[in-house]
Amino acid sequence: MRIALPLTQDNIFSLHFGHCDKFAMYDIDENTKSIVKKEEIPAPPHQPGLLPRWLSEKGATCILAGGMGQRAKSLFEEQNVHVVIGIEGTDPDAIVNDYLAGKLKVGANVCDH
């Protein structure tokens, strides 16, 4: 499993998926539900519809986001990438570990389009 999270320039979880500065990519050992590798990659310039294909090509199988437009969510699903929206928090490692432990709290989609 490879989880992608949007980040700000300061390595804080970015609530708006499509306008983040970079992505944290987590490689997960599915047997132990633990992080085995983390890397950060700069986000490409914002362009509608680009991120689902781009992140899928980077190996993402799961996206954790605060907010995301419906079109992006649909495009991820077409790529067989699982999407979780409505995540709150600031620490990306804690968010991923909560997700893996089944303790992630999810609220409303913070995106309005």
Residue 113 inside a domain? The answer is no
Residue 66 inside a domain? The answer is yes
d(CA 21, CA 29) in angstroms, rounded, equals 26
pLDDT in tens, 47-71: 878 899 999 999 999 999 998 888 8
Q: Structural domain of residue 30, as residue ranges?
A: 2-100
Angle (CA) 63 65 68, round 5°: 100
pLDDT in tens, 8-53: 999 999 988 888 999 999 999 999 999 999 999 999 987 878 899 9
CATH of the domain at 29: 3.30.420.130
Residue 40 inside a domain? The answer is yes
Residue 110 inside a domain? The answer is no
pTM over 0.85: yes
